[in-house]
Chain A
């Protein structure tokens, strides 16, 4: 941070402080509930993965049938953790960047509670056998209108803040946040109306369901993660974004390429042939915005390696940006050269988790480590907890991605070998399934550390110091400025 409390304008500090105060309860509610849902999703993921290589595991209980537990796991991860982390990031970042207090935190909080009840009902409904069976939309059909209503009640105030912001510069983060806020209702409403409400051709419904699954990450989770990275990288290093032109290019390539993704999963299905090919082309071209974002963020923080290592916010964010680059490269490679090997295999799951956890969640953790001390006016309690959270998350997501993607390619080779039985192909992925199970164990451990830490912060049991908790022993070289007095304006400075 380039700005110190002594040199900063007192009005500006007071404004930031009042914005943080206005959003304290909803943001902490979203982050903490999200962290608990992440732990639930990790437990469900562990069971779901174990059932792939040990089908008899918990076989006596119909609640844990393979189809149900898989769906419950991914929906808890997306709607329980992912969306709530995104809500916290969106409402805080937009308020800070628009320099407007939140005047409707009560409504946001009520909508947040309703969202959690709806997700709980959905997950339990799936496990009781009431799921729809449509990927990433498995909740019972009564749930989606409630989620959409809650979404509007939570994000509409951020749209208003953007509209009434003071005249001046629109930040890169605001482009992405605004786009994500508007893209999600578009894809969610379209998908649910055409799949569950309109009695159209079943093939069209299958195509739209694939499109929704492909675009949910690219048009909602990815923009929110990138918005957070574009906010944190310059903020913590005290440098401007490396290139606004590259940022603009990355944004518009994502906006143009992203909506076409998804239907590649239906290659060979009786739908117009250009649709799967366009989907595959979009998944190849997603490398372009991924490179643009990665270059811009990494060049912004280059030369500040010590800061990246020491700051929890920046370390997680940098890891998420590298995850995005990896996602782009692997997506381009598999969709350009070996799609027939991955179409019906385990690889898709690896990509889902790489995107949702390796890109979005790591960036979200970075944002949470930055935001929470500012709204609770307390610093993180334990450097070790943050380190364990980081390494367990990183090793966990790398293991899931490698096991599922490599295992899936091997499985795809087995399926393609016509002289072998189908079971021989499935057997190839079995040993990799162990890797995924162990990885979810690591992620579960990491999320337990994270949840506990977050709960302690919510209870305002954090350190009463203006000095941030850094991932190294010597606090004298803080990238957040020199040590200040206890509970001064430090936690209000950004």
Chain B
């Protein structure tokens, strides 16, 4: 055995160098993680602004097209007849008294 090349100290050092070498791969992955993870542009995010603009335009046009006075009047008249028995030939209301 060549004691200048093979001695307990050299083996001990080689053990830790080998562990460190393998550990370096893991450390490199941890260091690389922010680079792969920070700025992710998903397809959803890329088109989301245009989608939100379209959605708000639709909401506005729907709100403009809605006659709120007429809707309120209809709702009130429907609420008044809610507990009345249906007249002959009319559609029965669920839960309304039948007599």
Contacts and interface: CB of A to CB of B under 8 A. Distances in A.
Interface of A: 100, 152, 156, 159-160, 163-167, 182, 185-186, 189-190, 193-194, 198-201, 204
Contacts of B10: 163-164
A483 to B, nearest CB: 34
Contact of B5 (A164, A185, A201, A204): A164
Contacts of B19: 152, 156
Nearest to B42: A201
B26 A166 contact: no
Q: Is the interface of B mostly helix, strand, loop or mixed?
A: helix
B15 A160 contact: yes
- Interface size of B as a range: 20 to 34
Contact of A160 (B11, B29, B30, B42): B11
15 contacts: A156-B15, A156-B19, A159-B18, A164-B6, A165-B5, A165-B6, A167-B2, A186-B25, A189-B22, A189-B26, A190-B25, A193-B30, A194-B29, A198-B33, A200-B37
Q: Which of A100, A182, A186, A199 has the most CB of B within 10 A?
A: A186
Nearest to A182: B21
B59 interface: no
Nearest to B18: A159
A166 B1 CA distance: 7
A198 B32 CA distance: 11
Contacts of A163: 10-11, 14, 17-18
Contacts of A199: 37
Contacts of B14: 159-160, 163-164
B62 interface: no
B40 interface: yes
A353 B92 CA distance: 72
Contacts of B5: 164-167
A100 B25 contact: no
A190 B11 contact: no
Contact of A185 (B11, B22, B30): B22
B68 interface: no
Nearest to A100: B6
Nearest to A208: B36
Contacts of B21: 182
Nearest to A99: B1
Contacts of B26: 189, 193
Given A156-B18, A164-B6, A167-B2, A193 B29 contact: yes
B28 to A, nearest CB: 8
A311 B40 CA distance: 58
Contacts of B33: 198, 200
Nearest to B33: A198
A186 B6 CA distance: 27
Contacts of B2: 166-167
Given A156-B18, A165-B6, A182-B22, 12 more contacts: A152-B19, A159-B14, A163-B11, A164-B14, A165-B5, A185-B25, A189-B22, A189-B26, A190-B29, A198-B36, A200-B33, A201-B36
A164 B37 CA distance: 41
Contacts of A160: 11, 14-15, 18
Contacts of A152: 19, 22
Nearest to B8: A164
Contact of A200 (B7, B15, B18, B36): B36
A14 to B, nearest CB: 13
B40 A201 contact: yes
A189 B30 CA distance: 11
A70 B18 CA distance: 36
A201 B17 CA distance: 33
Contacts of B36: 194, 198, 200-201, 204
A199 B22 CA distance: 23
Given A163-B17, A164-B5, A165-B5, A189 B37 contact: no
A175 B15 CA distance: 19
A194 B34 CA distance: 12
Contact of A189 (B15, B25, B42): B25
A200 B26 CA distance: 16
Contacts of B40: 200-201
Nearest to B2: A166
Interface in B32-49: 33, 36-37, 40, 42
A186 B11 CA distance: 23
Interface string B50-90: 00000000000000000000000000000000000000000
A199 B42 CA distance: 14
A387 B78 CA distance: 93
B39 to A, nearest CB: 11
A248 B30 CA distance: 33
